[in-house]
Structure 1
Amino acid sequence: MISYYYSSVSSNLEIKKHQQKIEMILDSKKIEYKKIDIAADPNAKDRMRELMGDAKALPPQLFNGDTYCGNFEAFEEALECESLSEFLKL
């Protein structure tokens, strides 16, 4: 199952747009995913960063189970290369 870490509270418009695009693409391709809001659960942010090995990482971030897939830029590149399934390790 794809885990999608995002923040429901962000003053950064770019992050909000990235999150919306990820959700729109995953929904349109009927890829099931679990949304994890790091703003609602402080432990979620720590877990996301721990799984990535990056103590300063910001959302959105994508995982398949506990396996890190990538951030928005990597997601967008996978879309352009038509390799989204490989990127998400499906």
Structure 2
Amino acid sequence: MVVKVYISRTSGDMEIKSRQQAVLQILDSKKIIHEVIDIAEEDNKEQKEFMQKNATSIGATAMEPNPVHSLPPQIFNDGEYCGDYDEFEMANENKDLDRFLKLVPEEVEIHTSTAEMKISSNQQEEINDT
């Protein structure tokens, strides 16, 4: 699983540039391995379309409050959408970045099999008999 950050190095929006820089600095400081995908590069047209199709948060800015497509930075873990800058920042502030980036399972369920329950029950009976 690879964290992918979709950015645009040619954006004229200073808020987008600042957000992109903050995301990348935080990932670097926490030593989280990530791939940067510049959707402004001609070779990344398919990646840009993927981001626009699969990002569910628009990442609106003061300069562009109602964008037609989601604005960078957008964060994915492989093909699974994590969120935009605001969601990233909130997860970072709440010390929940690993879960946000889908680096850890959402929930770990513990299942006890019938056999384990029977053994446990038998052990309790042995204790009661002594």
Given the alignment, which residue of 79, 86, 94 partners 1:81? 94
Offset, 1:36: 0.5
Unaligned ranges ≥5, structure 2 = 59-67, 104-130
Higher RCO structure (Cα 8 Å, ≥6 apart): 1
Q: Quick check: 2:6–2:72 contact (8 Å CA) kept in 1?
A: yes
Aligned counterpart in structure 2 of residue 46 of structure 1, from 46, 49, 55? 49
Match status 1:65 vs 2:78: yes
Q: CA deviation at 1:52?
A: 2.3
Number of equivalences: 90
Question: Whose Rg is larger?
Answer: 2
Between Structure 1 and Structure 2, the one with more strand by share is 1
Percent identical across equivalent pairs? 43
Deviation at 1:38, TM superposition (A): 0.4
Give the ranges of 4+ consecutive aligned residues of structure 1 lying more than 4 Å apart after TM superposition: none
CA RMSD of aligned residues (A): 1.3
TM value normalised by structure 1: 0.93
Q: Distance in 2 between matches of 1:25 and 1:31?
A: 9
Q: Distance in 2 between matches of 1:11 and 1:50?
A: 22
- C-alpha contact (below 8 Å) 2:11/2:17 kept by paired residues: yes
Normalising by the residue count of structure 2, what TM-score does the alignment of the two structures yield?
Answer: 0.66
